[in-house]
Amino acid sequence: MKSHDTTKPQDNVELQEPFPPPEPGTDEEMASAGDLIRSLLKAIKAYKLYQSNNPILAKQVGELTHKFNAHLDRYQTLNLQVGEYKLFFDGNPIYENTEMRESLAFLLYKDGVRDIRFFKGLDDQEISDFLDVLQRGEQASRLEDDIVTLLWQKEFAHISYYATDEFMDSNAVPVNYDEYQAGLEFSPTAEEPASDQESTEEEMLLSLAETLPESVRDQRETFANHFQPTTEEAGQINQLINHEADIKFVSTLVDNLIEILLHLGEDLEPYENMVTFFDRALEFLVLKGEFKTAGEILKTLREILDAMALKDNQIYAINRIFEGAGSPRIIELTTETLKHEGFFDLNASYDYFDLLPKSAIEPLCNMLGHMESPKARKLIAEIIGRKAKGNLEILSPFLNDKNWIVVCYVITIIGNSGDRNATKYLPQTIGHPDERVRRTALKALFQYPGSKEIKPLLLKLLNDQSSYIRSQAVIHLARSSKHDALGPILSIIQSESFLERDFAEKAAFFRAIGEARADEALPVLRKILEKKSWFKRPKWDELQVCAVGALRMIGTEESRKILELGKRSKNRAVRRACLQALNQPTA
């Protein structure tokens, strides 16, 4: 979304889990995690009640920071699994609240978060930002950014998460409305507020009659009388009822005009007038947010076009109507309508967008950059994906768009297409100046694990400016290239700069070595394990603990011999890690 992995029909490399499954925690570790959650709840409550400069809030956030630091300094990570009403640590519940409005677990769960991890190095700003995300996520309406989007926007360096069911993590474009509806949250149509647009809409309704074909022009006074209620009626009828009556009348009128269209002669002028009428009718419906009615009109015209033997002028007129519906002008009006939260039903609008012609792809892509609702962007992206299937070239210009949101969605559409040529569009995106774009490009590469084209791209990403991207790239490189990836990975971990990298990235690189399961890595791992240093001891401790994890994952007789030697190390952290690794099954 929701879920940010909305549906996962294929076995997919998870972007936000570069780390091995956590080792079973001790009783002390679980108690520390529970205590930390209690402090988090207090800070959340204070965040709701007090201004940012309030000393009570500052005290609660300070206590939470202290608890995080104490836990992460000792255990390196805090891994929480998210149930509907419970939070779990190492499979054991440490928090439960079944009151949906107050439950921290439900707040995360409803938007698709299933696992959240905190890593050593978490600082005050990240904790404050995390509290802000929870506060905004609780207050967000159904069409505003959800928790996953808010987490993504913050770009946390020491918080990772796993989520399910969002478009940009989906591997497939739905093939019909039922599939799409299953993944989209229903938002009921709200009663329209009074606005200054009433006179404009009334004028538009009246103007519809002026564009009727010659064969029905003698009825235009009757049409105008229908469209324009008397003063007495306007004062008596509720605005919503007026709205529904107008829509019903337009729908009935269009049905009659379709019948007339099918009986017009050879003269082209009536057809031109008919096209103009439909263009204005669809414009009126779009401005009203009546996408369902507009979709029904297009659906009827599509069925006529596909099933009936028509005259050339009739085919020409219907095709022109579809072209008008997908024109930049109508799409721009649609964008404005979709900005009004609660103004329409997203589910009901699917057919309308799905029936737009392929010529609508370009204005729909531009539309993505102006949408404020993630759910509406999801709908539009789904439609673009369907229309561009088999013709990804039409999307390539938007990979250079100035708006990062447009680029991210287009990359995702290309990645989810399943097209064997999809990878040829991705090289230009992995060097994009915006990290969010590069993250999305990396995610798209994950859809093509067997493609030869992705290895050089992943190797390039190992030197990305972002620790997150480097961590994800190395895991996928190891999984897709196995032994071929080992050389570049070993070269990086032996570089001087690698020691200074954060623990999460170190863990990712050593897990990649473990994924390769190659004895060729053992000399390097043994050298790291036996390294003695009086300087930067905490950094070396991190490196050595990670090396132990890689040895456990390799799981060969030779790797276990090195772990046995590590049990006798003078370094307490190494001894403890080796002992735990030997008592654990191989990954």
pLDDT digits (tens, 9 = 90+) for 135-162: 887 765 443 457 877 887 777 888 888 7
- Report yes or no on 4 lying in a domain: no
- Report yes or no on 38 lying in a domain: yes
**Average pLDDT for residues 349-367, to the nearest whole number?**
90
CATH of the domain at 503: 1.25.10
CA distance 390 to 92: 47
**Tokens 């997150």 appear where?**
468
Same domain, 347 and 224: yes
pLDDT at 213 over 80: no
* Long-range residue pairs from 255-258, CB within 8 A, at least 24 positions apart, any chain: 255/300, 257/212, 257/213, 257/216, 258/300, 258/301, 258/304
**Average pLDDT for residues 560-573, to the nearest whole number?**
86
Same domain, 217 and 350: yes
DSSP 24-65: PPPHHHHHHHHHHHHHHHHHHHHHHHS-TT-HHHHHHHHHHH
- Report yes or no on 474 lying in a domain: yes
Same domain, 204 and 346: yes
Same domain, 213 and 335: yes
Tokens representing 474 are: 């190395």
Same domain, 166 and 225: no
Q: Between the ranges 10-24, 341-355, 375-389, where is the mean pLDDT highest?
A: 375-389
CA distance 214 to 472: 65
Instruction: Supply the pLDDT for residue 340.
Output: 63
pLDDT at 586 over 70: no
Lowest mean pLDDT among 87-101, 331-345, 417-431: 331-345
Instruction: Supply the pLDDT for residue 285.
Output: 87
pLDDT at 97 over 80: yes
Same domain, 342 and 235: yes
Instruction: Supply the pLDDT for residue 245.
Output: 53
Are 243 and 288 within 8 A, CB to CB?
yes
- Report yes or no on 393 lying in a domain: no
Per-residue model confidence as pLDDT tens digits over 528-562: 888 877 677 788 888 888 899 899 888 888 999 99
Same domain, 140 and 215: no
- Report yes or no on 404 lying in a domain: no
Residues of the chain with pLDDT > 90, as a percent, come to 23
Same domain, 106 and 230: no
Domain limits for position 515:
449-582
CA distances from 95 to 15, 108, 138 (A): 26, 13, 18
Instruction: Supply the pLDDT for residue 410.
Output: 95
Mean pLDDT, all residues of the chain: 78
Instruction: Supply the pLDDT for residue 172.
Output: 38
pLDDT at 165 over 60: no
CA distance 20 to 221: 75
pLDDT at 93 over 60: yes
CA distance 55 to 122: 22
Same domain, 511 and 550: yes
pLDDT at 429 over 90: yes
pLDDT at 231 over 60: no
CA distance 545 to 8: 33
